[in-house]
Chain A
């Protein structure tokens, strides 16, 4: 059974700092990995999708990497801003079932 773990569970950083969020998964036979953002009381917004054959994806200040063999992904956020404050969720698609999620990292960026 696929399990996804995100570390840390919560993170507080000053504005402007670069930061890394970590995601690990137990079964490396994945089709893809997706990072989402969730604001309080809202739905999930897709940030980046990494196919199993890819090593990284970039969108603006966000960069996600994937090391499938070791079961790890990182989300790098450059020059953090207060508007980046949210919960970040990692999820993997493997086998025949839809996305399996980690419990998320709650990020606070302090102005």
Chain B
């Protein structure tokens, strides 16, 4: 099993560009989520999904879109990149919220210039 796979690992964008961060898991997990990690701020929840076709906003959703058409994939779209979106992005998955541990990808380091 590959676990949670994020691509790309590194990305540089210009202000105003759009892009999609990919996240895939091969554990048949229902719960998937996106976090961003910034110095001094810790990990903050962007969006999450409790199953295919169901998504919801987290703490810092502005400027990001998500969709969940399959159980395996949960892409994060930056609509018009801003320097404030420079961060490290992590995708996570788990069976559910009550009984099982969460697994994280290795992260995508994004710089917006």
Residues of A within 8 A of B (CB): 31-32, 34, 36, 42-46, 49, 51, 89, 91, 93, 96-104
| Interface residue from A42, A46, A102, A104 paired with B102 (Cβ < 8 Å) | A46
Instruction: Tell me which residues from 18 to 40 in chain B have a Cβ below 8 Å from any Cβ of chain A.
Output: 31, 33, 35, 40
Residues of B within 8 A of A (CB): 31, 33, 35, 40-45, 48, 56, 58, 90, 92, 94, 97-107
Secondary structure class of chain A's binding surface, majority of residues: strand
Q: Is the CB of B104 within 8 A of A31?
A: no
Q: Is the CB of A98 within 8 A of B48?
A: yes
Contacts of B102 in A (CB 8 A): 34, 46, 91, 93, 98-99
Q: Is the CB of A98 within 8 A of B45?
A: yes
Q: Is the CB of A43 within 8 A of B105?
A: yes
Q: Is the CB of B43 within 8 A of A32?
A: no
Using CB atoms, name the residue of chain B closest to A43.
B106
Contacts of B45 in A (CB 8 A): 97-100
Contacts of B42 in A (CB 8 A): 89, 101-104
